[in-house]
Amino acid sequence: MRFGKSSEDQGDAIPLAPLIDIVFLTLVFFMTTAVFTTLESEIDITLPTAETAEERAIRTQGEIYINLQEDGSVVLNNRELTLDELQEVLYRVAEYFPGGSVIIRADRAALVEHWFAVVDSCRKADIQNISFAALRDEAEPAGDPS
């Protein structure tokens, strides 16, 4: 008399432990990337506009965003830095990611003096790939209004 089913009757079972691991790692990956994409946009900065501004879809390794606020304060990863602290961070970025790029998100009301202080810090760290973030200017082109 048999009370239970034998293992031959059950067939192939799907291993749940590896499946749960894969789902968990995928969830962690997407949560992490979502955090990094919002870090730069959380700071309240009014970007300048330009007709030739382009949206960058792909981030490169070692690419950092430096946020320059209207009052001249520098924010990196939601942390306000002095120029000396920024310089140390840029030295480390240049050391670990040679050829890395810096994108400066400066408020349109920030003084040019503050812009050049950040650019000068980048140049001291030997970072040559420097860009400025801007919004695309949606104004009508000059000419025949039709």
> Above 80 in pLDDT, residue 40?
no
To 5 degrees, how large is the angle CA 108–CA 135–CA 85? 55
Q: What percentage of the chain reaches a pLDDT higher than 90?
A: 27
Taking Cα atoms as reference points, which of 137, 139, 133 lies closest to residue 49? 137
How would you class 139 by CB atoms within 10 Å of its CB: exposed for 0-12, middle for 13-18, buried for 19 or more? exposed
* pLDDT, tens digit, 9 for 90 and up, residues 103-143: 899 998 889 999 999 999 999 999 988 988 888 877 544 54
pLDDT the model gives residue 8: 56
Q: What pLDDT does residue 146 have? A: 42
Contacts 24+ apart (CB under 8 A), 139-142: 139/49, 139/51
Q: What's the pLDDT score for residue 82? A: 93
Whether residue 66 contacts residue 118, with contact meaning beta carbons closer than 8 Å, is answered with yes
* φ, ψ at 10 (rounded to 5°): -80, -30
The whole-model pTM stands at 0.62
Q: Which CATH class is domain 39-136?
A: alpha beta
